[in-house]
Chain A
Amino acid sequence: MKTRCLQLLALTLVAALTFAVRARAQVQTPPPAPRPSATTATGNAENGKKLFTSVGCYQCHGREAQGSTATGPRLGPRPIAFAALSKYVRAPTGQMPPYTSKVISDAELADIYAFLQARPQPPALESIQLLK
Chain B
Amino acid sequence: MAKNPSVDRRDFLKSAAVTGAAALIGGTGAAGNAAAQQTGPAGSGTAPTLPREADPSGDVDVLTTDRPGGDFMVDVIKTLNIEYVAANPGSSFRGIHECIVNYGGNKAPEFITCCHEESSVALAHGYYKIEGKPMAVLCHGTVGLQHASMGIYNAYCDRVPVYILAGNTIDATMRRPGVEWDHSVQDAAAMVRDYTKWDDLPASLPHFAESAVRAYKIAMTPPMMPVLVVIDGGLQEDPISAEVKGRLRIPRLTLTSPPQGDSAAVAEAARLLASAENPVIVADRAARTAAGLKLLIELAETLQAPVVDQGGRMNFPSRHPLNHTDGGRALIANADVVLGLELTDFWGTVDAFRDSLVRSSRPITKPGTKLISITAGDLFVKGNYQDFQRYPEVDLAIAADAEATLPALIDAVKRQVNADRRRVLQERGGKLADAHHKALDRSRADAAYAWDASPISTARLSAELWAQIKNEDWSLVSEMGSVSRWPMRLWTFDKYYQFIGGSGGAGVGYGAPASVGAALANKKYGRLSVSIQNDGDFMYAPGVWWTAAHHQIPLLAVMHNNRAYHQEVMHLQRMAGRHNRGITRASIGTTIESPNIDYAKVAQGLGVHAEGPISDPKDLGPAIKRAVEIVKRGEPALVDVITQPR
Contact = CB atoms under 8 A, between A and B. Distances in A.
Contacts of B327: 29-30
Contact of B584 (A4, A55, A122): A55
B358 A1 contact: yes
Interface in A1-56: 1, 4-5, 8-9, 12-13, 15, 19-30, 54-56
Given A99-B583, A130-B467, A131-B463, A20 B360 contact: no
Given A56-B583, A63-B453, A103 B577 contact: yes
Interface stretch (A65-73, A79-87, A110-118): A65-73
B567 A20 contact: yes
Contacts of B354: 8-9, 12, 15, 94-95
A68 B573 CA distance: 17
B326 A69 contact: yes
Nearest to A120: B452
A4 B566 contact: no
Interface in A94-115: 94-95, 97-100, 102-103
B570 A59 contact: yes
B618 to A, nearest CB: 12
A54 to B, nearest CB: 5
Interface in B285-335: 308, 310-311, 325-330
Given A27-B329, A70-B484, A131-B463, A59 B645 contact: yes
A5 B463 CA distance: 43
Interface centre among A56, A67, A98 (most CB of B within 10 A): A56
B310 to A, nearest CB: 6
A90 B502 CA distance: 35
Given A27-B308, A70-B485, A97 B446 contact: no
B244 interface: no
Given A25-B481, A68-B646, A98-B578, A8 B448 contact: no
Interface in B469-499: 479-482, 484-485, 489-490
B567 A97 contact: no
B316 to A, nearest CB: 13
Contact of B355 (A23, A67, A69, A95): A95
A20 B448 CA distance: 22
Contact of A25 (B329, B480, B566): B480
B479 A24 contact: yes
Contacts of A28: 329
A62 B457 contact: yes
Contacts, number: 175
Interface residues of B, number: 71
B479 A97 contact: no
Given A8-B358, A27-B328, A125 B445 contact: yes
A9 B360 contact: yes
Nearest to A72: B646
A13 B333 CA distance: 12
Given A23-B567, A29-B329, A62-B645, A131 B447 contact: yes
Contact of A19 (B329, B349, B355): B355
Contacts of A68: 458, 484, 645-646
Contacts of A88: none
B580 interface: yes
A89 to B, nearest CB: 10
B566 A59 contact: yes
A59 B84 CA distance: 41
B239 to A, nearest CB: 50
A21 B355 contact: yes
A68 B353 CA distance: 19
Given A9-B360, A59-B569, A128-B448, A71 B646 contact: yes
B443 to A, nearest CB: 9
A69 B458 CA distance: 12
Contact of A9 (B362, B450, B574): B362
Contacts of B459: 66
Interface centre among B450, B482, B489, B582 (most CB of A within 10 A): B450
Contacts of B564: 59
Contacts of A1: 358
B586 to A, nearest CB: 6
B578 A4 contact: no
Interface centre among B479, B564, B569, B573 (most CB of A within 10 A): B573
A12 B362 contact: yes
Contacts of B358: 1, 4-5, 8
Contacts of B506: 22-24
A102 B508 CA distance: 35
A59 B448 CA distance: 19
A95 B355 CA distance: 6
A125 B441 CA distance: 10
B418 interface: no
Contact of A27 (B310, B467, B484): B310
Interface of B: 308, 310-311, 325-330, 348-349, 352-356, 358, 360, 362, 442, 444-453, 455, 457-459, 463-464, 466-467, 479-482, 484-485, 489-490, 502-503, 506, 508, 564, 566-567, 569-570, 573-578, 580-584, 586-587, 644-646
Report the 4 A-B pairs with minimum CB-CB distance, sorted nearest first.
A97-B577, A25-B481, A122-B448, A66-B449
Given A25-B502, A103-B577, 20 more contacts: A1-B358, A27-B326, A27-B329, A27-B349, A55-B582, A56-B586, A58-B645, A60-B645, A62-B645, A64-B453, A64-B644, A66-B449, A68-B484, A70-B482, A70-B485, A71-B570, A97-B577, A98-B580, A103-B581, A123-B452
6 contacts: A24-B506, A26-B481, A27-B329, A29-B329, A128-B448, A131-B463
